[in-house]
Amino acid sequence: MTAAIIDGRAVARRMQSEIGTGAAEVASRLGRVPGLGVVLVGDDPASAMYVRMKQRACERVGIQSAASILPASATQAEVEDAVRAFNEDIAIDGILVQLPLPSSINEEAVLNEISLIKDVDGIHPVNLGFLGMRGREPTFTPATPTGVMHLIAESGIDLSGKEAVVIGRSNIVGLPIALMLTNADATVTRCHSRTIDLAAVTRRADIVVAAVGQPEMVKADWLKPGAVVIDVGSNAVPDSESDKGYRYVGDVDFEQAREVAGWLTKVPGGVGPMTITMLLANTLKAAQA
Ligand code: NDP
């Protein structure tokens, strides 16, 4: 079997075009374009790059972005003040705090400051809590997990009653993906670094989501033939043939997996473009509310 590739770039392009139309409608109704406020603390080059990519994507779809860029030496109060300033700014519909924050900053206290109606990254503890509760609806769901659910939908699989395995249990990726799959009526197993015989557990799954941070860990013999495999991983590995000296690979061994899986995402070009798109979609939703 050769897996069908789920093209995250194509899905993202399609959705961004719809978001652009929605943003233009908001602009003509409200007399202002939707606004995203970004808080970036410290000088981590990867975080700075992600923020630039998100700001460029905003420009493409007609969302205005404003950045509050603070040095690594910023105090807890200064970071929280930056969030509060965006809470009070009527031109800002959504707030993104770029994680990770420097270790000197209490991340939970900062996230708690984000107004629930502006939590377009869906990582306020209340929104995450609502995601896991029956009968409750979060105002927003987190960007990467929401993107993963859209990519799974591209396969056409009916999730009800299916076995899903999520490898990774972080607050911003693995945990919310597992909750969203459960809410879609899949039977979900959450795996992590203490899982015994990960390969055997993963082999049971109709849907595998790998969010681990271990290059090409998931091999062909870990997969049930025909499974839908979504690779969240984004790992830089040395590559002497690349100008930069490195390239990005996922948590799934793509070449092996494509021989067994039914559906598979690529890295890059899978989950990454969807993460940004979901942030834009949530910002538009906040402006439309
Ligand atoms: P974390 O490091 O926060 O979490 C990794 C998870 O994987 C943990 O739950 C950990 O288990 C588990 N894990 C680590 N090693 C193993 C192992 N050998 N076997 C089984 N489980 C293991 O990472 P994130 O959740 O933030 O990110 C995961 C990956 O997704 C990374 O590659 C990251 O770069 C990528 N990512 C991509 C995004 C995108 O837009 N494409 C967005 C966000 C992340 P334990 O809990 O026991 O420690």
3-state SS of the chain? CCCEEECHHHHHHHHHHHHHHHHHHHHHHHCCCCEEEEEEECCCHHHHHHHHHHHHHHHHHCCEEEEEEECCCCCHHHHHHHHHHHHHCCCCCEEEECCCCCCCCCHHHHHHHCCHHHCCCCCCHHHHHHHCCCCCCCCCCCHHHHHHHHHHHHCCCCCCCCEEEEECCCCCCHHHHHHHHHHCCCEEEEECCCCCCHHHHHHCCCEEEECCCCCCCECHHHCCCCCEEEECCCEEEECCCCCCCEEEECCECHHHHCCCCCEEECCCCCHHHHHHHHHHHHHHHHHHC
Q: Is this model's pTM higher than 0.85 or not?
A: yes
Q: Which of 149, 217, 232 to mutate to test the pocket of ligand 1 (most atoms within 8 A of CB)?
A: 232
Establish whether residue 275 lines the binding site of ligand 1, counting it when its CB lies within 6 angstroms of any ligand atom.
yes
Q: Which two tokens stand for residue 162?
A: 């299916």
Q: Give the closest residue (by CA) to ligand 1 atom 1.
A: 170
Backbone angles phi, psi at 167, to 5 degrees: -100, 115
Q: Which of 54, 194, 212, 231 to mutate to test the pocket of ligand 1 (most atoms within 8 A of CB)?
A: 212
Q: Distance between CA 105 and CA 35 in Å, rounded?
A: 26
**Which atom of ligand 1 is the closest one to the Cα of 267?**
41
Establish whether residue 123 lines the binding site of ligand 1, counting it when its CB lies within 6 angstroms of any ligand atom.
no
Known active-site residue 98: yes
Please identify which of the residues 16, 93, 98, 231 carries the catalytic annotation: 98
| Residue-level pLDDT at 142 | 96
**Which atom of ligand 1 is the closest one to the Cα of 147?**
40
Establish whether residue 171 lines the binding site of ligand 1, counting it when its CB lies within 6 angstroms of any ligand atom.
no
Q: Give 171 Cα–ligand 1 centroid separation in angstroms.
A: 10
Residue 57 and residue 281 in contact, taking contact as beta carbons nearer than 8 Å: no
Establish whether residue 60 lines the binding site of ligand 1, counting it when its CB lies within 6 angstroms of any ligand atom.
no
Q: Give 198 Cα–ligand 1 centroid separation in angstroms.
A: 14
Rama region for 6: left / alpha / beta (φ>0; ψ in -120 to 50; rest):
beta
- Buried residues in 224-260 as b, exposed as e (16+ CB within 10 A): beebbbbbbbbbeeeeeeeeeeeebbbbbbbebbbeb
Sheet harboring 187-191: ordered strands across? Answer: 4-6, 263-265, 228-231, 207-210, 163-167, 187-191
Known active-site residue 214: no
Establish whether residue 234 lines the binding site of ligand 1, counting it when its CB lies within 6 angstroms of any ligand atom.
yes
Establish whether residue 212 lines the binding site of ligand 1, counting it when its CB lies within 6 angstroms of any ligand atom.
yes
Along the 289 residues of the chain, how does pLDDT read in single tens digits? 799 999 999 999 999 999 999 999 999 999 999 999 999 999 998 899 999 999 999 999 999 999 999 999 999 999 999 999 999 999 999 999 999 999 999 999 999 999 999 999 998 999 999 999 999 999 999 999 999 999 999 999 999 999 999 999 999 999 999 999 999 999 999 999 999 999 999 999 999 999 999 999 999 999 999 999 999 999 999 999 999 999 999 999 999 999 999 999 999 999 999 999 999 999 999 999 9
